[in-house]
Amino acid sequence: MPEQDLSQYLAYLLASAHRNMRIGLGLSIGQTGNDQEFTEEHWRILQVLSDEQGRSMGDLAERVLLNGPALTKNIDKLVSRGVVQRAAHPDDSRKVLVFISDLGLETVARLKQRVDAHHDSIEEALGPRKTNQLKRLLESFIAESRSG
């Protein structure tokens, strides 16, 4: 049976694009100073929490695309850095809500500038038309793969 080039598979291309995006974003986020130890996952968590509504761990895990154990590990790191806080749910003390702190709001504002600059550089490389096409295709793929 002839060997097929991996780059012919959509799964490989998506994984490769994701890897390149993570590497570029990681370099952008961790450039200097106190933000050096923040990861893409940390940024996603802080970005979701920046609406200051507080989130359950289950809701947060779904929104930031992390499984429960990975989210817990990341939240532990963010709590130790003082950028998020855990609190008991007001209606059910068995549930935990996660809130962003004032330091977290400052941090996510700095990280967002770097993430936006990274995304701007991608748009500049692809051009606005291709960037919008790619976004629409990915949104369509995500919607179709969820329903299938």
What is d(CA 104, CA 25) in angstroms, rounded to the nearest whole number? 19
Domain membership of residue 116 as a residue range: 6-147
Q: How many domains does the chain have?
A: 1
pTM of the predicted protein model: 0.85
Strand order in the sheet with 84-88: 55-56, 96-100, 84-88
Whether residue 41 is contained in a domain is answered as yes
How do residues 56-86 score in pLDDT, each as one tens digit?
A: 999 999 999 999 999 999 999 999 999 999 9
Whether residue 137 is contained in a domain is answered as yes
Give the CATH number of the domain where residue 73 resides: 1.10.10.10
Residue 128 pLDDT > 70: yes
Whether residue 22 is contained in a domain is answered as yes
Residue 55 pLDDT > 70: yes
CA atoms within 13 A on the CB side of 109: 6
Whether residue 28 is contained in a domain is answered as yes
Whether residue 1 is contained in a domain is answered as no
Whether residue 119 is contained in a domain is answered as yes
Region of residue 85 (left: phi > 0; alpha: psi -120 to 50; beta: else):
beta
Identify any residues that bridge with 99 across adjacent strands, giving them in sequence order: 85
37 vs 57, higher pLDDT: 57
